[in-house]
Structure 1
Amino acid sequence: MYMPAHFEENRPEVLHRLIAEQPFGALITNGPNGLDANHLPFEAQLVPAGDDASAPQSRCLLRAHVARANPVWKEAATHPDALVIFQGPAAYISPTWYPSKHEAHRQVPTYNYIVVHAHGRIVVRDDEPFVRGLVARLTRKMEAGEAVPWKMGDAPADFITQMLGAIVGIEIEVTRLVGKWKLGQNKEAADRRGAADALLARASDQQRAVGQAMLDAPPAF
């Protein structure tokens, strides 16, 4: 991913928070038939490092499940390298929102966005306890906002067992996290504020999220 220095975000806690808040990721693999993409909800877990002082402070594990009929889990045995893309809010930026445009007319449209790339290797977890636990935890998280949350126990046990048999778990130990917060850090303060204010006045939650992030991000100069 192209990464100008002023857009780089490398604080682990910020990257992990984006993954937790936007868990629906795009799993990119390069199998025997070339590039493939699968769109999956992921569970992220930070695992404390051991006693080795040279080890990183924690490891990030990403867990998901795919349909047993999906060849990606079989291909992972010989092609385990993977990239998972977690997309944060994104919004179009009009040049008319920059005050300097109306003075010198030297601005062009762009998109501002937040994204995290997680690199790692897939390990297949084709065991019922792993898959059952993963589905239960993902369900609890996704149902948390419902007035009456659905839980696995609401369905007949034999039906849940049948459904679990139709999926396979995968686990990715993240070896590298890359974050890009493209939020106009390279713009003059007045132009950045003008664009942020325009987004904050919009009806879309995503546009307002980008506008607020623009105000929160430190400028490049």
Structure 2
Amino acid sequence: MYVPPQFASTDPSHASELIRSYPFASLISVDDKGLPYITPLPLHLLEEEGRWLLLGHCARPNPHWRYLQARPQAVVSFMGPQAYMSPSVYPDLARVPTWSYLTVQCTVQARLIEHFDDKDRLLKHLIHEHDPAYAQQWRGLGEDFQHKMMAGMVAFELEVLDWQCKLKLNQHRPESHQALYSTYAAGTADQRVLADWMVRLGLVGAIREEA
């Protein structure tokens, strides 16, 4: 991923927060023809013993798990909030539009999970994160149903080997920050989140104090 220095964050709390807040990711592998193969799916971030693991699964008919088995290294991309940025935020006219966004890209090493108990532990993490109330319903469906459902999927752990976090909020153009913040703070849900990140990164701290 292209990350100009002004947009790069090396703070792991930024990356982990974005992953947890926007867990629906793109898993990117190389297929048997040498082309990118992409599966959109939710992933759960597990931090243990200094490692980051991304937990997920795909349908058994999806060939992606076979590509992970043959070529375990892959890329995972998480897209956070994003919004158009109008050139009207600049005090001068010689400017062009752009786009603001927050994203995390991870290089991962895959390990397939086939044992029922291991799949069950993985699903507990996913259910707890997205729908805790469903846990009781899932248990009530019985082992026969659970085994049938789990046989139709392939679960995996993706160990994060490296990550990049890009926070593109026009940091290098301070003359735009006040107008950009005001626009985003009054805008869509994504724009409001971007406005909050501008405050968090210290781009417009004084503005929030005056509001």
3-state SS of paired residue (1:82): strand
What corresponds to 1:59 in structure 2? 51
Cα-to-partner distance string for 1:129-168 (whole Å, 9 max, x where unaligned)? 1111211221121114xxxx22212434322221111011
Asked if the contact 1:61–1:173 (Cα under 8 Å) also holds between the matched residues in 2, the reply is yes
State the alpha-carbon separation in 2 of the partners of residues 74 and 112 from structure 1.
36
Q: CA deviation at 1:218?
A: 4.1
3-state SS of paired residue (2:95): coil
What corresponds to 1:209 in structure 2? 193
What corresponds to 2:76 in structure 1? 84
What corresponds to 2:26 in structure 1? 26
Residues matched between the structures, number: 200
What corresponds to 1:43 in structure 2? 44
3-state SS of paired residue (1:2): coil
TM-score by length of 1: 0.85
3-state SS of paired residue (2:192): helix
What corresponds to 2:4 in structure 1? 4
Gaps of 5+ in 2: 204-211
Letter in 1 for 2:149: M
State the alpha-carbon separation in 1 of the partners of residues 142 and 46 from structure 2.
29
What corresponds to 1:165 in structure 2? 151
Q: CA deviation at 1:118?
A: 0.7
Asked if the contact 2:86–2:98 (Cα under 8 Å) also holds between the matched residues in 1, the reply is yes
State the alpha-carbon separation in 1 of the partners of residues 13 and 194 from structure 2.
19
State the alpha-carbon separation in 1 of the partners of residues 37 and 196 from structure 2.
34
What corresponds to 2:165 in structure 1? 179
TM-score by length of 2: 0.89
Q: CA deviation at 1:216?
A: 2.4
State the alpha-carbon separation in 2 of the partners of residues 209 and 218 from structure 1.
14
Bigger Cα displacement from structure 2, 179-188 vs 122-131: 122-131
Gaps of 5+ in 1: 49-57
State the alpha-carbon separation in 1 of the partners of residues 117 and 47 from structure 2.
20
What corresponds to 1:199 in structure 2? 184
Asked if the contact 2:110–2:156 (Cα under 8 Å) also holds between the matched residues in 1, the reply is yes
Letter in 1 for 2:102: I
Asked if the contact 1:116–1:178 (Cα under 8 Å) also holds between the matched residues in 2, the reply is yes
In the TM superposition, structure 1's runs of 4+ consecutive aligned residues that sit over 4 Å from their partners are none
State the alpha-carbon separation in 1 of the partners of residues 40 and 118 from structure 2.
20
What pairs with 1:95-174 in structure 2 (closer than 5 Å)? Answer: 95-98=87-90, 100=91, 104-144=92-132, 149-151=133-135, 152-174=138-160
Bigger Cα displacement from structure 2, 155-164 vs 83-92: 155-164
Q: CA deviation at 1:84?
A: 0.4
State the alpha-carbon separation in 1 of the partners of residues 173 and 56 from structure 2.
39
Q: CA deviation at 1:41?
A: 0.9
State the alpha-carbon separation in 2 of the partners of residues 186 and 120 from structure 1.
31
3-state SS of paired residue (1:76): helix
Asked if the contact 1:184–1:214 (Cα under 8 Å) also holds between the matched residues in 2, the reply is no
State the alpha-carbon separation in 2 of the partners of residues 154 and 205 from structure 1.
37
Q: CA deviation at 1:191?
A: 1.4
